[in-house]
Structures are given as structure tokens and as C-alpha cells.
Amino acid sequence: MRMYGDLKVFSGSSNIPLTEKITIDLGLSMGQAEIKRFADGEIRVKIKENVRGCDVFIVQSTHPPAENILELLLMIDAMKRASAGRITAVIPYFGYSRQDWKDEPRVPISAKLMADLFAKAGADRVMTVDLHSEQIQGFFDIPVDHLFAAPVIIDHYHRMDLSNFILLAPDVGAVKRTRGLAKRMGNLPIAIIDKRRPRPNVAEVMNIIGDIKDRDVIIYDDMIDTGGTMVNAAQAALDLGARSVYCCGVHPLFSGNARERFDSVEITEIVVTDTINLPEDRRPQKLKILSISDLLAEAIKRVHRSESISSLFREA
């Protein structure tokens, strides 16, 4: 088994607060890197400490703007050229993951391109959280540690009396994810939204399969973008007699007027994680952010020690 040098954790600029929490959990100082812009806007990266032979982890979510992706690629290249022993790209939110197959002619498979870019830049492995589609793991020619935020979310809800709760899948594609969460929350029942999507980012709720009348409903999805899907589902649940509605997503994109949409519906609570550093002006009133820093710190520690990651989920 190959042994690597000191563990070092660096951060891109997309989510510095999360990286700071991870390093505190690990008892480390965050690695010193300088990210600046040339006058014309080009990104300039400089690693300001010795990483030769070290086990390096770079934390960077790759949501828009596209500079987040380029920044990560440049940091990986800088680490490789500085003779780092191993480079792991820690990507809490893996951007461009929604285009993972050719759903119509003459379109890219963007998720595959991202996988190729990170490997080509010099990453030895990737660690990510709740991929939009699990098949994306197969796009990589390097090891991928696919983590799930479910333990953090379950811990939050287990502080409540769940006897009257039901989980609602916002579409058929989310049924497997919702059923898995429901099972780990004590075999809670589930219901399913049957919807039609006329065009991207526009969802129309048609029907709810399952009895939600007088129940407390949790709507669960991997990401919240414009909020259309989740808000429509929440309103439909309330219209059909749900006692209360809780919304839960792992990745808080909150694009466009998502904040206003959520604030317009009587939602009890909106729970997300800090895979994306969401600006204050895009946060709905009832938003609660859970941190996945403990989860990522433990996974980083285990990878560094060549210990099992799968056992982390069994223990959770």
C-alpha cells in the first residue's frame, strides 16, 4: 500500500466557510493558496506552501459561474506541478451533473466532460456529495468517493416526533432517493408527485399518489434550483389537506426568484446543507442550513488513512 505524506486541505473560493469548518474538525490549518485575477480577469493561482509528497485535498464546489470549475482545474495543475503525492478534488456540489446523457440530438454529455477535465488536470481521486445521478461515478477513470448527506439530514429530523410524517417524492425520478431516506428514518410512508415538465426549470404538478391528508409532509430532493418543483409540490400538498409541509434539499442553488417563491407558500421549514455557500440575499425566510463539514472531515480522514468509506455510512 502506497503511503502519502502530510494531510493538507486547501480551498478554492467557492465555499471557504465549509473548508474552514472541515479543517477545524480535522484539527488542521487551512492550506495557504493565493487566488487572484489579472487585469483582464484571468485567474492566477499560487500555492504558498510546500506540498511535495503530501496528501492534498482541494475543496471546491463547481456551481456557476464557470470560473469555479476553472479555478479547481488550475489548483489541481498547480499541485501536480508542485509534486504533491496525491491530489483529491473534494467537490461538495458537482456542477453540470444534470446533463448526464443525450436526451436529444446534438447536445453534450456535460457530466462526462467535467469528469475528464478533472482527471486530465491531475486529480488522483474525487470526493463528492449526492450526485444528481449515480451513474456519473462511471464517467471517471479515477476513484470516486460518493458521499450522501442523508446522515446529517436524518439527525436533524430525528429530533422531532415523526409519527405523523410522510415523505413526498417531487417526481418519479426521486422515488428511489426518497424511499431510501424514508427507510432510514424509521420506515416512514412515502407519496409521489406525478408531474409534467413542459420545458426546463418549469414544473407542473398534476397529481399526488398517496394519502397525505392531515399528515406532516417532507418533500425531499437532491437539489433546489429555481424552486418551481418543490414549491408547486408544497402547494399541492397543502391543497390536498396536508397539516404541514417541510422542504428538504441537499444542494441549495436557489436560482432566479426561488427565494420569493418559497416565501409565498406556507412552508414550515426549508432544510438544506452547506455544499454551496448561499449568499444571504438568496435565502428564504424559513431556511435552515445544516453543515456537512463533519461528514467530509471524517471521509477525508479515512481516505488519508486508507480506511473504509462504506463503513462510514453503515455506522451512520
What does the DSSP 8-state code read for residue 225? S
Is 225 labeled as ligand-binding?
yes
Is 314 labeled as ligand-binding?
no
DSSP secondary structure of 235-249: HHHHHTT-SEEEEEE
Q: Are 130 and 123 in contact (CB under 8 A)?
A: no
Is 227 labeled as ligand-binding?
yes
Is 229 labeled as ligand-binding?
yes
Catalytic-residue membership of 183: no
Q: Are 250 and 223 in contact (CB under 8 A)?
A: yes
Is 226 labeled as ligand-binding?
yes
Q: Considering 195, 213, 286, 288, which one is annotated as catalytic?
A: 195
Is 42 labeled as ligand-binding?
yes
Q: Are 3 and 55 in contact (CB under 8 A)?
A: no
Is 5 labeled as ligand-binding?
no
How many CA within 13 A on the CB side of residue 285? 9
Is 124 labeled as ligand-binding?
no
Is 98 labeled as ligand-binding?
yes
Peptide bond into 65 cis (omega under 30): yes
What are the angstrom distances between the C-alpha of 2 and each of 5, 58, 119?
A: 10, 20, 20
Catalytic residues: 195
Binding residues for ATP are 40-42, 98-99
Binding residues are 40-42, 98-99, 132, 171, 197, 221, 225-229
Binding residues for D-ribose 5-phosphate are 197, 221, 225-229
